Amino acid sequence: MRAFTYTAPDTVAGAVAALRTARPGTRILAGGTTLYDLMKLDIETPPEVVDVHRIAELDTIDAGGRELVLGAGARMADVADHPVIRAQYPGLAESLWRAASQQLRNMATVGGNLLQRTRCPYFRNSPEFPCNKRDPGSGCAAVGGHDRAHALLGGSDACIATYPGDFAVMLLAFDAVVDVVGPGGERSVPLAGLHVEPGDDPTREHVLAPDELIVRIRVPATQAGRGSTYLKVRDRESYAFALAAAAVGLTVDADGTVGECRIGLGGVATRPWRATEAEQTLVGQRLTPQTARQAGEAAFAAARPGTENGFRIELGVRTVADALRIAGERATR
């Protein structure tokens, strides 16, 4: 780890002021569960670190209004265990407690969780292999190589690294919005527009400027929140990233047909992925094993398998179908 300058403001205004004069490459520290690892690996080498974890105004949870409002500094554990969120948005709670160990959830923040970087081993652990995300223009060792855990959707010839997060996938299904602030003022970014696909520049992973800070996450109230789930399939039950995951929210009308359908995919794409075509196959239909299977197939119709990850298409189809069943049961309680 290289030497760096450390600043710890205690207000959002102070953080913005620190970022205004920060040197290029400065990073924001919240829970630290990702940044510390990347600094130890010499992937992140910031000349300055602005620590925002003591800013009280970021550490809030408001579940009593027309929208759920989460301060970016709220801990994953506190959000996952909040009684209103567990009752009204069970899928959100599941996406958090299935994401990491209790120790990590006690430290990690929901704002920082959105911007975590890929766990691609070529990016993190194998400097002898080419990686456009780490060393632009060097190539992508995963393309045509060992790609078992790499993306099926949203990849390019330059990068197929999988977005690793769970929480953002569920937020995407609920049309969440992220409020950010920086020296240029405050703005709101739909979660659907926060992350970007690698294209020709895998180093660009989101639309935020280096001097912008996430201050809150807003989730519109929806009846589909009650009928929601986050189903995550992985090599082992805990402490592992998804091979396939599905974030689902449903409402079921009095006649038994699906009124509202929301489907997000995790662990299979270069960014949180909304399966709009799959959603459309179910609206106005009865939820049966057959229609759930059809929705899963629609969700992965555009998948591009590589050399070793093709098995995850069928795994993903079944994960979507199983998540729809769980959400349907919750929606009709």
Residue 50 belongs to domain with CATH number: 3.30.43.10
- Last residue in a domain, options 54, 69, 87: 54
Label residue 100 by pLDDT band (50, 70, 90).
confident
pLDDT band for position 300 (50/70/90)? Answer: very high
Query: Mean pLDDT across the stretch 18-37?
Result: 93
Range of the domain at 324: 227-331
- Measure the CA–CA gap between 97 and 104, rounded to whole angstroms: 10
Mean pLDDT (whole number) for 245-266 = 97
Res. 318: pLDDT tops 90: yes
Residue 2 zone, left/alpha/beta (φ > 0; ψ -120 to 50; rest): beta
pLDDT above 80: residue 243: yes
The Cα 171–Cα 89 span in angstroms is 10
Q: Which two tokens stand for residue 275?
A: 């399966």
Share of the chain above pLDDT 90, in %: 91
Q: What is the mean pLDDT of residues 148-159?
A: 98
Q: What is the arithmetic mean of pLDDT over 270-287?
A: 97
pLDDT band per the 50, 70, 90 thresholds, residue 302: very high
If pLDDT is split at 50, 70 and 90, which confidence band does 239 have?
confident
Confidence check: pLDDT of 288 > 90: yes
* Residue whose pair of structure tokens reads 């690294």 in the numeric block: 161
Q: What's the CATH number where 306 sits?
A: 3.30.390.50
On whether residue 204 sits in a domain, the answer given is no
Helices assigned H by DSSP within 60-176: 76-80, 83-88, 90-97, 102-107, 110-114, 121-124, 167-173
**Residue 332: per-residue pLDDT:** 94
Six-digit token string for 205: 């992973």
Q: Return d(Cα 85, Cα 39) in angstroms, integer.
A: 34
Element spanning 263, H or E: strand 258-266
pLDDT (average), residues 314-322: 98
Answer whether residue 244 is part of any domain.
yes
Q: What is the pLDDT of residue 312?
A: 98
pLDDT at 117: 95
> Shortest CA distance to 29 belongs to which of 45, 47, 49, 11?
49
Q: Is 248 within a domain?
A: yes
What is the pLDDT averaged over residues 169-186?
Answer: 97
Q: How confident is residue 102, by pLDDT bands cut at 50, 70 and 90?
A: confident
Contact 294, 263 (CB under 8 A): no
Please give the tally of structural domains in the chain: 2
DSSP state of 227: T
Does residue 235 have a pLDDT over 80? yes
What is residue 64's predicted lDDT score, i.e. its pLDDT? Answer: 86
Question: Does residue 267 belong to any structural domain of this protein?
Answer: yes
Q: What angle do CA 68, 248, 225 make, to 5 degrees?
A: 30
Q: Is residue 14 part of a domain?
A: yes
Mean pLDDT (the chain, rounded):
96
- pLDDT digit string (tens) for 217-234? 999 999 999 999 999 999
Q: What is the pLDDT of residue 299?
A: 98
At residue 195, the pLDDT reads: 98
What whole-number distance in Å separates Cα of residue 153 and Cα of residue 284? 27
Mean pLDDT of 237-242: 86
Q: What is the pLDDT of residue 237?
A: 81
Let me know if residue 238 belongs to a domain. yes
Evaluate whether residue 221 is within a structural domain. Answer: no
Query: What would the two tokens of residue 124 be?
Result: 């993190």
Q: What is the pLDDT of residues 305-316, one digit of tens each?
A: 999 999 999 999
pLDDT band at 126 (very low <50, low <70, confident <90, very high): confident
pLDDT of residue 129: 92
Instruction: Decide if 235 is inside a domain.
Output: yes
